[in-house]
Every structure is written in C-alpha cells, then in structure tokens.
Amino acid sequence: MIRRCFVMLAALMFGLATAQGELEIFSWWAGDEGPALEALIELYEAQHPDVDVINATVTGGSGVNARAVLKTRMLGGDPPDSFQVHAGQELIGTWVAAGRMEDLTDLFAEEGFLDVFPAGLIDQISTDGGIWSIPVNIHRSNVLWYVQSNLDSWGVSVPADWNEFVSDTCPALQAQDVTPLVLGENWTHNHLWESVALAELGPDDYQGLFSGDLAFNDPKAVAVWDTFGAVLDCANDDASGLSWQQATDRVVGGEAAFNVMGDWAAGYMVTTLGLVPGEGFNWAASPGTDGVFMWLSDSFGLPLGAPNRDNALDWLRVLGSREGQDAFNTLKGSISPRLDSDLSLYNAYLQSAADDWSNDVVVGSLAHGAVAKEAFMSEFATVMEIYLGSRSADAAANAAQAIANQVGLNN
C-alpha cells in the first residue's frame, strides 16, 4: 500500500505514467510447467509494480484443455489480455483467420524485434496483413530421452532407427521386465507418431504431408502406421493414465528405458527434478531422425478487445526482450529464437539443442501446431482413436486424408 502510494505520488510529481490495473495471461503452464512463466511474470512485475497480474492457467499437456477454454472465452467475447498459442498454423489458421488478433508489426518495429528474430520464424507468425504474436521459445519435438547408466546395466544402446528398436532393443528390454518405451495420455501418441512419421518418410515427404504433395493414404504414409503399431507394442499398457511428467519419471526411475517427448522434458528434469543433463539423463534425436530438428514455438498474442491492452503490450515487450527470453528459456527446456541470446547461460542439453537448431534440417511439428491448423489437428486425435481401436493402417491413413480434404491443412 505504502509503495503503491509512493509510486503514484512520484508519477504525479514527475509526470511519469505508471501502468495500473490488471493483466490477465492465459496459458497451460500450470504446476510444474509453471516456473519459466513465473520468471517472466517476475520480470514484468519488477517493471510494472502496480499492475495486478492474473496468471490464468488450465492444466493439461500440450494445451489440450486450455485450447477448449480459450475458444469458449474468445467466442464469448471474454478474451484474456494475452494468451499462449503455438507459432505457425495454430495461430494463423485459427485466431488470425478469424480476424480476432491485433497486428503487432508496430511493436516489432519499435522494439527492434525485426532484427533479432530469425526471418524464417517471423514468417511463421505473419500473413500479408501483419505479424501476429511474440515467440518466446523454440522447442524440439523429436527427442529420445534415456539414462545412459541404466542402458549400460540392461546391455542395450540407443537404437539408430525404429527397425532396430523393434527387432533388437525392445525384446532385449522386455526379457528383463523393463518397459522399452513409456507413453503417456492421448496427445503423447500424436507426439510419438510425428517422430515415427519423420523417421519413416524423411524430412521432404514428412513436409509433403502438410503441403499436399504426399497424400496421407499414399503407400509410404500408410507404412508409417505399421511401424507406429510395432513401436506401440513395445510401450506400457497404462499410458492413458499418465501425464507426460509421469512418463518422464518412469525413465528417470529406471522402470522404462526410453521416452520420446519434446524438450520441455529437459526443463522438467532440470528445473523440477534437479537433474544434471548428461548425468541424470541423456538424449538423442528420436530414432531415424538424426540431423533433423522438428521445431515448435510457444508464442503470445494480443486478442482484439483485450481488456487491458496497454498492459498486454508491455507484457509482450518483456516476452520479446533478450532478458525475458533468457530468464524463461533456461528454465523451460527450450532455446531462445533471438539471434543474440546469451548461450553461456544455458545448460549442456540446451547448448546442444541450439547447435542442432542452427545446423540441422528443420521441419515443423504437427502435434504442437506448427504445420497444420487446429481443426486438422483436433480431428487427427480421432484418426489416432481409429487406429488404436482397429490397428488398421489403411483405416487410419484414409481417415487422415479424408480430414485433410474436409477441413484443409493450412488454408
């Protein structure tokens, strides 16, 4: 109270305009997904001590629940001041296409963001009509996590591809009652699928699925489902009851050998579990995808009609700043897309990710909104159900193509 009066008095005496009121930020970074976001909020609060920040979160990995709540709020005329959305088609094909976002081109120009974010990433958040969000990170989807000392004691090594995994690694582990690959709740199946698809198709054909150059029911794409099925036979049968963190715990705890998960798992293992990269856990590109970086990016935008627009603009300034990005990403398990980020602040896993991001072939993630619009992605969950229920590669492949025809991929 005293501080607030003092700040207001100073503002009156010196003519300073201090931000007041509220700022509501909406995301799915709840619980142990929260520390990186909290670091950003702390930075914002230090600069704007009189603003009440409302950190509205809806739990659920990959935003499965948050997106539904956001949709209700946006369509109901009750937008938050700023919300998390994946860069790429999840942003462009949904809220931008619906004309619900503010163009942030002026903010990019004022803050010098046009010079410090890679042009390719700016493309992913732009249309002819503007630039629509501030990216806070680059995550990698196609990562295989394991603990080297556990692999040594089981006498297995990191498989080079899924064929080796299915025919050698998996039976060797099963014979010792170790789960070869741990999976979690529904969306993590989609997450695994995209890594299998990338491995089986290679980067060009994988991208062809989303540009329309390769049909989902082309024989090559049908074969992805067969490999995926063989990989699933090596997974735990209680997947639907596990969050991605609980799946990660099984690798760390030595019940399972491998997990394919985005590198938010590194954030969890370092920030929440206190493990040291390279000691408590190890990583490799998911089998058959060495040299390819499947990217996704979390970003925040400004919805039209945001109740506290000026505060939201200040929030976006913090998100794009180098200080904000380095505070956030070092905890989150992601790297900053800023070309001037201070890599010396980042741990060994993140430094290796930064190196791969600059040197690998880069393709976008399906499960995390980069390459196909939300309508396709949510229907893809039905395709997955069809496959899990029938184990028919043809049925799944035909359903995927039917959905691509019906809702479109990115138009």
Distances (CA, A) of 243 to 74, 109, 122, 266: 27, 40, 32, 15
Q: How far is the CB of 36 from ligand GAL (least distance, A)?
A: 9
* Single residue of 264, 281, 293, 328 touching ligand GAL by CB under 6 A: 264
Q: For Cα atoms 317, 38, 300, give the angle at the middle one, nearest 5 degrees.
A: 40
Scanning 3-11, 57-65, 223-231, 300-308 for contacts with ligand GAL by CB under 6 A, the matching segment is 57-65
Does position 196 interact with ligand GAL (CB under 6 A)? The reply is no
Nearer residue to ligand GAL within complex by CB, 178 or 367: 367
Scanning 55-63, 67-75, 150-158, 316-324 for contacts with ligand GAL by CB under 6 A, the matching segment is 55-63
d(CA 294, CA 202): 12
Both tokens assigned to 232 = 């699933």
Does position 180 interact with ligand GAL (CB under 6 A)? The reply is no
360 CB-side CA count, 13 A: 21
Residues 31-37: contacts with CB under 8 Å, at least 24 apart: 31/59, 32/245, 32/268, 32/272, 33/61, 33/264, 33/268, 35/271, 35/272, 35/331, 36/267, 36/271, 36/327, 36/328, 36/329, 36/331, 36/332, 37/328
Nearer residue to ligand GAL within complex by CB, 61 or 287: 61
Scanning 26-34, 118-126, 336-344, 350-358 for contacts with ligand GAL by CB under 6 A, the matching segment is 26-34
Does position 87 interact with ligand GAL (CB under 6 A)? The reply is no
* Single residue of 63, 80, 93, 324 touching ligand GAL by CB under 6 A: 63
Q: How far is the CB of 194 from ligand GAL (least distance, A)?
A: 12
Nearer residue to ligand GAL within complex by CB, 63 or 80: 63
Does position 298 interact with ligand GAL (CB under 6 A)? The reply is yes
- Per-residue x/- marks for ligand GAL, 140-179, CB under 6 A? ----------------------------------------
Q: How far is the CB of 288 from ligand GAL (least distance, A)?
A: 22
Nearer residue to ligand GAL within complex by CB, 275 or 402: 275
Nearer residue to ligand GAL within complex by CB, 282 or 334: 334
- Maximum Cα–Cα distance for the chain, whole Å? 76
SS3 label, residue 236: coil
Q: Which helix (DSSP H) or strand (DSSP E) does residue 210 occupy? A: helix 187-211
For ligand GAL (CB under 6 A), the number of binding residues is: 13
Does position 368 interact with ligand GAL (CB under 6 A)? The reply is yes
d(CA 392, CA 203): 25
Does position 313 interact with ligand GAL (CB under 6 A)? The reply is no
Write down the residue that tokens 């699933």 correspond to: 232
Q: Are 290 and 162 in contact (CB under 8 A)?
A: no
SS3 label, residue 190: helix
Kindly write down the DSSP assignment for every residue of 238-295, as one continuous string: TGGG--HHHHHHHHHTTSEEEEE--THHHHIIIIIT-PPBTTTBEEEEPTT-TTEEEE
Both tokens assigned to 268 = 């969890």
H-only helix segments in 264-392: 264-267, 309-320, 322-332, 348-359, 374-390
Q: How far is the CB of 27 from ligand GAL (least distance, A)?
A: 8
Nearer residue to ligand GAL within complex by CB, 338 or 368: 368
Q: How far is the CB of 411 from ligand GAL (least distance, A)?
A: 23
Nearer residue to ligand GAL within complex by CB, 61 or 277: 61
| Closest residue by Cα to residue 264 from 28, 69, 24 | 28
Does position 268 interact with ligand GAL (CB under 6 A)? The reply is no
SS3 label, residue 362: strand
* Single residue of 296, 302, 313, 327 touching ligand GAL by CB under 6 A: 296
| Closest residue by Cα to residue 183 from 136, 119, 228, 213 | 228
Q: Are 363 and 207 in contact (CB under 8 A)?
A: yes
Q: How far is the CB of 105 from ligand GAL (least distance, A)?
A: 24
Q: How far is the CB of 244 from ligand GAL (least distance, A)?
A: 6
Does position 139 interact with ligand GAL (CB under 6 A)? The reply is yes
Does position 373 interact with ligand GAL (CB under 6 A)? The reply is no
Instruction: By CB under 6 A, name the binding residues for ligand GAL.
Output: 28-29, 33, 61-63, 139, 244, 262, 264, 296, 298, 368
